[in-house]
Amino acid sequence: MVTPNDTDLASATFVDVDVLQGSGGETRQQAADGVPQLTTQSGTPVSDDQNSLKVGARGPVALEDHHMREKIFHFDHERIPERVVHARGYGAHGFFETYESLADVTSADIFQRAGEKTPVFVRFSTVAGNKGSADLARDVRGFAVKFYTQQGNWDLVGNNIPVFFIQDAIKFPDLIHAAKQEPDRDFPQAQTAHDNFWDFISLMPESMHMVMWTMSDRAIPRGFRFMEGFGVHTFRLVDAAGKSTFVKFHWKPKLGMQSVVWNEAVKINGADPDFHRRDLWNAIQSGNFPEWELGLQLFDEDFANSFDFDVLDATKLIPEELVPLRMVGRLVLDRMPDNFFAETEQVAFQTGNIVPGIDFSNDPLLQGRNFSYLDTQLKRLGGPNFTHIPVNAPKCPFAHFQQDGHMAMTNPKGRVNFEPNSYGAEDGGPRESAAGFKSFPEPAEDGAQKLRIRPESFADHYSQARQFYLSQTETEQTHIKNALVFELSRVERPAIRVRIVSHLLNIDKGLAGKVAAGLGLKDLPAPAMAAKPTRDDLPVSDALSILKNPPPSLEGRKIGVLLTDGANAETFAAVQTNAAANGMVVEVIAPMIDGVELSDGTWVEAQYKIDGGPSVLFDTVAIIISDQGATLLSKKAAARDFIADAYAHVKFIAYSPEALPLFEKNGIDLDAACVELTAETVASFFEALPALRYWAREPLVNAF
């Protein structure tokens, strides 16, 4: 039996050496200057950590050097296997606050009391890339939340896209094998622009809805703080009376959605491959805690039976216009891990971690994940006792008869390690409870047989893909087309490219024609055989578009200000004031990293040197320079790129009059989003920024 009274694994820490007292009250294992004494893992003080033990000054190293052997031994085993998928991840601690009681639909303890805060750990990730890959790969993003509830851990393991590539978990190994680097050459990694992936997709029509999402701007988010999250599957909520309500989980970012453009993503990966990590770290460390709201789509069996698609099909979604979200709480991330490996790398999420009041549906992809997520921990974390790791341990009382195994940190106390037993309450250990988890007694289909089939209700592979495409703005549709052309242009075998276009013909003929033209196909192929014809009567869903849902404010965005010596101090001060009023972060780029001296003698420290702070790192830019600064920057390729990229990536650009020659050298025609800074124009410039980009410029620059 294990209880927090025996060992509180969730809050376990190493004992501070400076509190270990000797028999006379003196502090042991503490250096003379008050710094804790370095010790071995077993606690032996170390006198020399610089030199191994040698036989003579130049002699061989002695095998008895126990400190060196332990140090090298541990170093040799520091790495554990990376995750097969979601290897590139970053996490943070926070809390979930419930808005209101949801006792009307669930008995889950976390949803019973308004205002209650539940500790959480959240991990964001890319799916396909290896642990050392870059943050801005075009990819699905994981959005996994571990709730430490009073009835055990609940893991909501989702993505930033509400649908998935496949309908049945048996195809998951094939999908990931196809998406990862090709096994004979071990490249390309962290990207799907290669033959294996698109060959697989071209033979799996059910993937086409997900392809529309991954070729959209959703797959290159501006940061974790600016993306939505989804539980993907249909789950059940169960109330105290045993009544079931179907549910889909949605996370909505308080800062609104935002993505980058593809050319920008490529350059960000070169300038700062840790862009998403750094953004989350800086936001939390500065007290600008990211927030999301949790919305539920709730529906009953009658709706599920009447819906045009099967709610158990993970390649389908329910439009928010059809089933509006019920906002039930907020997620706040307010603390970074003390150690990345101990928490973010070792955290173990499992779709099978649910609590009373929440249950599974028969979604075949979810059912397979329930096996896979538990099974993978054995390989990654070394054995069945991964819940003994503090980040994985529940924070509520827990008791069981599980014992031993690799790295067991604690075992049940006493004589009894089995159940049932006839020992009394004091010695017999934990017992079952009527209040414990009960699976929803879903009736089986009449005369159901064991069959390896896909239900007919899963057969429409194109209608929602078409709905998604038509719900995008013209700009977003162009980005999807460009992404498809780019990815397929990296595919070597022409037959694969042709098959993808044949699928696109079942989604939208205009899209298929543009992709075919971009690939140089002389003739369109026949449309792919469809198990069910594509419906053209599904309404546009504005919730599926990023640009139709602009952010509520500029909070959390960055403005990069390029400064030189002699730059107008009043103009810079006005930019700072307006940025602060809008919740924006100001970062300074300068010719030299130490900073610049403004026109009034004020010294301003720089965060970036010009060749290390490209404009791709910022949401908008301002160029405030002197005449001498303009002469200096005109000779620097990095400065010319700073302006050219900002313009090509359709950003709003503010500039002082002295910067005009730099625009002329770049051959840039100033437009409505290029604003000369004066006392009168600074405020109006910031008023236009919530649009984030000046999309009218994009057809002229073709920087998708």
Positions marked active-site: 86, 159
Output the six-digit token pair for 448. 């159901």
Please report which helix (H) or strand (E) contains residue 570, including its range.
Answer: helix 569-581
Q: What is the DSSP letter of 101?
A: -
Q: How far apart are CA 312 and CA 233, in angstroms?
A: 7
Give the closest residue to 275 by CA, choosing from 330, 224, 228. 224
Q: How far apart are CA 86 and CA 479, in angstroms?
A: 25
- Residue 20 sits at φ, ψ, to 5 deg, of -80, 115
CA 511, 517, 521, 523 torsion: positive or negative? positive
Helices 509-519 and 494-504, axial angle in degrees (round to 10): 160
One-letter amino acid at 358 equals I
77: CB partners within 8 A, 6+ apart: none
Q: How far apart are CA 680 and CA 682, in angstroms?
A: 6
DSSP-assigned states of every residue in 611-654? GG--GGGSSEEEEE--HHHHHHHTT-HHHHHHHHHHHHTT--EE
Q: How far apart are CA 102 and CA 249, in angstroms?
A: 14
Q: What is the DSSP letter of 532?
A: S
Cα atoms found within 13 Å of the Cα of residue 483, Cβ hemisphere only: 27
Q: How far apart are CA 398 and CA 7, in angstroms?
A: 11
Residues in a beta bridge with 558 = 585
Cα(first)–Cα(last) distance of the chain, in Å?
59
Give the closest residue to 585 by CA, choosing from 612, 608, 610. 608
Q: How far is CA 328 from CA 95, 96, 130, 188, in A?
A: 14, 10, 35, 42
306: CB partners within 8 A, 6+ apart: none
Output the six-digit token pair for 621. 């830019």
Q: Cβ distance 458 to 313 under 8 Å?
A: yes
Output the six-digit token pair for 85. 């998928």
What is the residue whose two structure tokens read 């529309």?
212
Helices 681-688 and 569-581, axial angle in degrees (round to 10): 40
Largest distance between two CA atoms of the chain: 91
Residues in a beta bridge with 296 = 249, 326
Q: How far apart are CA 154 and CA 101, in angstroms?
A: 18
